[in-house]
Amino acid sequence: MHDELHDLITKTAARVRMRDFLWAVGISAGVGLAILFSGLAQWQIVVVGWGAFLAALAVRYRFSSGRVWAEPIQQIVESGLSAQQAEIANLKIARGVAQALPEPLFILDAEGIVELANPAAEKLVGSREIEGRHFATVLRSPDVFEAAETVVNGKKPVTVDFKTTGTVERSCRAFVAPLAAESANARSLVFIRDLTSERRLDEMRQDFIASASHELRTPLASLLGFIETMKGHAKDDPEAQEKFLTIMQSQAERMQRLVADLMSLSRIELNEHVPPRDNLDIADIAKDVVDSFAPLFDQAGAIVDFINEGERSTSIYGERDQIFQVVQNLFDNAVKYGGDPAMIKVRVGRGEAPSLVDEGETGQRAGDSAAQTAGRLGIQVDDLVYLQIRDFGPGIERAALPRLTERFFRVNVERSRKSGGTGLGLAIVKHVMNRHQGGFQIESRLAGGTAFNCYFRAKD
């Protein structure tokens, strides 16, 4: 490429020299004719003078090679190319560094157009087609965009805290700084740090203390009351002691379950913003839970019907332990509230889960439908995998349906406590589904049972 550029510059210089030579010949001939016609000199003198001038000019061009003419131009061009190559090399290094960063990074031009976005940035906004788009359409955070405009105009770094919208809310901090501040084509760098884990840890600690102090107050008061009674007038009454110890054991076990569920919910919430990546099969997990719950089903007299509908794959990306816990909690709920004896129907398949309406019944719904889940994920309904666990119990009042996934909400408080419930089972299910970017829908009919539908994005 260097030799081609040298030849091009040399040939161009030669053409310029030839054009200048012809112009000099033409102009000198015109001057000679003007002198001749004006009578200032004889034609012989004019011809000799013009010939001498042409000879001198020819000698000058002959011994002044094109290389000499081309060297200044070539030096300028080579200097510019060297600077350009150095800038390209720096840009490649910068892009390589940006690609390797685990945190989202954007580089914007003066108009707010994204010139560079690393993989972490693509993951943050959920799109790979970022570069070339306006920043306001990529990251829907007006505060960050205004900070980028301020940086371009004011040339000073700015830090902004903001939250992303979506299935799972994220708490982030954006550091916006100017690039090439002295250049006419000013750019700004937007570096984003995800603070969700730190914020969730603080919230988890606060929620755990508040929830534990509230829910443990009753069983602790009960235990203290029985202890005082046993130390008092029941001190010498073996029958009363046996009765009170049984109740105390029940209360202690309830506190143990409550603490375990609170810890489980806290762990799920802590990592709720991190999508799981393991390859799982929902049908296999559902079968495993059915097998592990077999003794409980036999003890309760529950009847379980498992149906794997369709021949398409039911594989998803998820975390096995959490999905196992979801199915376990829904089974536990169905056994407790699905009638006496409980009849439970489990379905796994692709697309939309069967509805109570499909069976000629009119049900009430709460939560994300298959269409809503698919629309949020940007896929077709057929690309969803569903897990449905249905009971045929008394059903749930319409007003209570939206609140079922709230912490410690119980439709029947007394019945829930007698059955050992903590009021956290469906809240755990909801947060696990949020982490898996899925949908959770509850459909119920009074005297017709309740269906719990979990929707996941299919792996393929």
Residue-averaged pLDDT of the chain: 79
Exposed (0-12), middle (13-18) or buried (19+): which is 203, by Cβ within 10 Å? Answer: middle
Question: Which pLDDT belongs to residue 262?
Answer: 75
CB count within 10 Å of CB 18 equals: 12
The one-letter amino acid at 33: L
CA gap 371, 381 in Å, rounded: 6
Q: State the pairing for strand pair 343-350/303-308.
A: parallel
Q: How far apart (Å, rounded) are the C-alpha atoms in residues 8 and 64?
A: 18
* Top-confidence residue, 79 or 384: 384
| Residue type for position 222 | S
Q: How confident is the model at residue 62, as a pLDDT?
A: 65
What's the rounded mean pLDDT across residues 59-72?
61
Write down the pLDDT at residue 389.
93
- Tens of pLDDT, residue by residue over 165-175, are 766 677 888 89
DSSP 458: B
Q: What is the pLDDT of residue 453?
A: 94
Q: Report the distance separating Cα 272 and Cα 169, nearest Å.
A: 9
What is the pairing mode between strands 105-108 and 114-117? antiparallel
pLDDT at 261: 76
Supply the pLDDT for residue 459. 85
Is the pLDDT assigned to residue 300 strictly greater than 70?
yes
pLDDT tens-digit map of 371-385: 999 988 889 999 999
Q: What is the pLDDT of residues 258-269, one digit of tens each?
A: 777 777 777 777
Residue 440 predicted with pLDDT over 90: yes
Six token digits for residue 304: 């379980």
Max CA distance (Å), the chain: 155
- Rounded to an integer, what distance in angstroms lies between the CA atom of residue 76 and that of residue 74? 5
pLDDT tens per residue, range 332-367? 888 888 877 888 999 999 999 988 876 656 678 888
Kindly write down the DSSP assignment for every residue of 24-85, as one continuous string: HHHHHHHHHHHHHHHTSS-HHHHHHHHHHHHHHHHHHHHHS-HHHHHHHHHHHHHHHHHHHH
Contact 424, 262 (CB under 8 A): yes
Q: Tell me the C-alpha distance between 221 and 248, whole Å.
A: 11
d(CA 456, CA 346): 16
- The H-assigned helical ranges of 279-352 are 282-292, 294-300, 320-337
Residue 4 CB-density burial (10 A; 0-12 exposed, 13-18 middle, 19+ buried): exposed
Beta carbons of 167 and 434 less than 8 angstroms apart: yes
Would you state the pLDDT for residue 452? 93
pTM of the model: 0.56
pLDDT at 346: 92
Stretch among 135-149, 324-338, 378-392 having the lowest mean pLDDT = 135-149
* Pairing state between β 170-179 and 187-194: antiparallel
Lowest-confidence segment of 83-92, 101-110, 242-251 by average pLDDT: 83-92
Task: Write the CB contacts of 380 (distance below 8 Å, at least 6 apart in sequence).
Answer: 374
Q: Which residues pair with 40 in a beta bridge?
A: none
- Rounded Cα gap, residues 293 and 299, in angstroms: 10
Q: Which of 26-30, 86-90, 200-204, 276-280 has the lowest mean pLDDT?
A: 86-90
> Do the beta carbons of residue 139 and residue 123 sit within 8 Å?
no
Q: What residue spans of 378-424 are helical by DSSP H?
A: 413-418
pLDDT band per the 50, 70, 90 thresholds, residue 71? low
457 forms beta bridges with: 384
Q: Which amino acid is at 198?
A: E
pLDDT band at 192 (very low <50, low <70, confident <90, very high): confident
Within 13 Å, how many C-alpha atoms sit on residue 427's CB side?
20
Query: Pick from 302, 340, 327, 308: which is nearest to 452 by CA?
Result: 327
Say what the pLDDT of residue 69 is. 53
Separation between Cα atoms, residue 44 and residue 48, nearest integer Å = 6
455 has a pLDDT exceeding 90: yes
Rounded Cα gap, residues 398 and 34, in angstroms: 110
pLDDT at 316: 92
Judging by DSSP bridges, how do beta strands 278-281 and 315-318 pair with one another?
Answer: antiparallel
Q: What's phi and psi for 172, nearest 5 deg?
A: -135, 160
Q: In this predicted structure, what is the pLDDT of residue 87? A: 61
Predicted pLDDT of residue 427: 87
pLDDT computed for residue 73 by the predictor: 62
Identify which of 429, 256, 439, 258 has the alpha carbon closest to the alpha carbon of residue 353.
Answer: 439
DSSP 402: G
